[in-house]
Amino acid sequence: MPAVTATGLIVAPLSLQRFLFRRLLTSELVHEAHLMARSGRMALAMALASSA
């Protein structure tokens, strides 16, 4: 389950960029993408640790 969550969080900023960039909300885009990437890395670390 953590691997699926990590994949979703790492890929999600791509669709978020398409949604927010057209509305000229770049600062919100950068902030949200940063949080998603950080959470995705943590979920990926949990997936790797649980498989070892």
Measured at the CA of 33, the angle between CA 31 and CA 36, to 5 degrees, comes to 110
The string of pLDDT tens digits covering residues 23-43 is 777 888 888 889 999 999 999
Considering only residues 49 and 52, tell me which one the structure prediction assigns the higher pLDDT. 49
**Domain count across the chain:** 1
| pLDDT at site 49 | 93
Task: Indicate the SS3 state at residue 39.
Answer: helix
What is the rounded (10 degree) CA torsion for 21, 26, 32, 38?
Answer: 110
Domain with 6 in it: 2-51
| 2 band by pLDDT with thresholds 50, 70 and 90 | confident
pTM of the model: 0.76
Q: What is the mean pLDDT of the chain?
A: 86
Measured at the CA of 37, the angle between CA 26 and CA 8, to 5 degrees, comes to 105
